[in-house]
Amino acid sequence: MLQQTQVATVIDYYNRWMQKWPTLQALAQASLEEVNELWAGLGYYSRGKRLQEAARKVVSELDGRMPRTAEDLQKLLPGVGRYTAGAIASISYGQATGVVDGNVIRVLCRLRCIGADSSSPAVTDRLWDMANALVDRSRPGDFNQALMELGATVCVPKAPLCGECPVKQHCQARRRVEKELAFASRKLFGKPNPVPDVEDCGVGGCPLCPPAEEPWDSSLGVTNFPRKAAKKQPRTARTATCVLERRGCHGALEYLIVQRPSSGLLAGLWEFPSLPLAQGLREEKQREMLADHLGWPVTAGALRLLGEVVHVFSHIHQTYVVYSLPLDEDVTLDPALSPSRWVTEEEFHASAVSTAMKKVLKAREKQRGEDSSPGKGSKRKRGAKPQGASSTHPKTQLSLRTFLRAPTVP
């Protein structure tokens, strides 16, 4: 849970998770649906899925026994990479093996003035070698946690607390800053500077030194390290999505949600029926395609455009073009197609839906609020004919066959 997510966000999820599945055996029996429901809102959903798959594997293939070394953990369990394997093996089983996470990268790069791209293979290998060499043989778990904590609380990204740092006497970045200050002071008093230390040279194509085109920047001090390659921009994607709603048998508003495929982005999560769009389509065309995708006799004009909702996933800048469509007909759902169900607002929030879909619902609720406020259009009476919905086929049972085809991954 803590990969890519802050502790404060995780605590509540962690407590609920441990309450529900206190053992590997209990987790192995959970369904993906239950896992997604509990994980909803935490993002990076494949983590929960893999955690559950790993529990199943331990129970069904490994006699209920967790692998105990970093090598076996990484080799045998889905979703366990080098860092997770090292953390579990050292903290839980006392194996003298290092860990390298974002905090450790920062500390080690500063300790050793490593200024090349910290995600490059040469630097990554060097950092792992250092972590494995440094780890305390008798208390590896404590050592690794201390190193990560040092990066999280003292050697922080923007304003590290070097004066309070317990390893400052070993830190080459700090030494370099002190030298720079000494040089500046000598210059002020007209004294010549000594020949640079061989450790400072950084020339000769060393794969760990700062690249020649990005030399040491005095104004940054120790925060010259670490350095990362420019982040890849997330790709942009557009999706038309439709909030279909009706009054349920007790008069409560209900929404239709469908389940995504069990693999790919947001696997197994529920969403409003959606259709990926090509870039640059005109609004009328989008509307037509969505109406066509719905697959029943509704004209494109029946769909009401709410606006756009933007959600940024880790690697996708996703824009949802949101439409709404109130219904008062029975809808026939074909059980052979993607699972679908009608849910109340409360049920919607308790379901495995992404944060993006919660934003879409919020947009619809905002629109409803604006519609019903005085002077902003008329409020439709319960039971009145919704605008455009099936008005040409009042007796027709609506088919969602096309609608519920598994959507392609955006």
Which residue ranges make up the site for ligand SF4 (CB under 6 A)? Answer: 107, 110-111, 154-155, 160, 162, 165, 167-168, 171, 173-174, 222
Q: What angle do CA 50, 16, 360 make, to 5 degrees?
A: 75
Choice between 49 and 112, CB closer to ligand SF4: 112
Least distance between ligand SF4 and beta carbon 226 (Å): 11
Least distance between ligand SF4 and beta carbon 162 (Å): 3
Choice between 40 and 177, CB closer to ligand SF4: 177
Q: Is 387 helix (H, G, I), strand (E, B) or coil?
A: coil
Least distance between ligand SF4 and beta carbon 349 (Å): 43
The secondary structure of residue 398, as a DSSP letter, is E
Beta strands in 77-214 (DSSP E): none
Q: What distance in Å separates the CA atoms of residue 160 and residue 303, rounded to the nearest whole number?
A: 54
Choice between 154 and 337, CB closer to ligand SF4: 154
Residue 32 token pair: 């993906």
Least distance between ligand SF4 and beta carbon 153 (Å): 10
Choice between 30 and 111, CB closer to ligand SF4: 111
Least distance between ligand SF4 and beta carbon 112 (Å): 10
Contact call for residues 86 and 98 (beta carbons, < 8 A)? yes
Give me the helix-helix angle, 82-93 and 140-153, nearest 10°: 120
Report H helices in 135-171: 140-153
Choice between 167 and 300, CB closer to ligand SF4: 167
Choice between 147 and 333, CB closer to ligand SF4: 147
Choice between 176 and 246, CB closer to ligand SF4: 176
Q: Encode 295-359 in three state secondary structure.
A: CCCCCHHHCEEEEEEEEECCCEEEEEEEEEEECCCCEECCCCCCCEEEEEHHHHHHCCECHHHHH
Least distance between ligand SF4 and beta carbon 107 (Å): 5
Least distance between ligand SF4 and beta carbon 129 (Å): 18
Q: What angle do CA 8, 11, 16 make, to 5 degrees?
A: 150
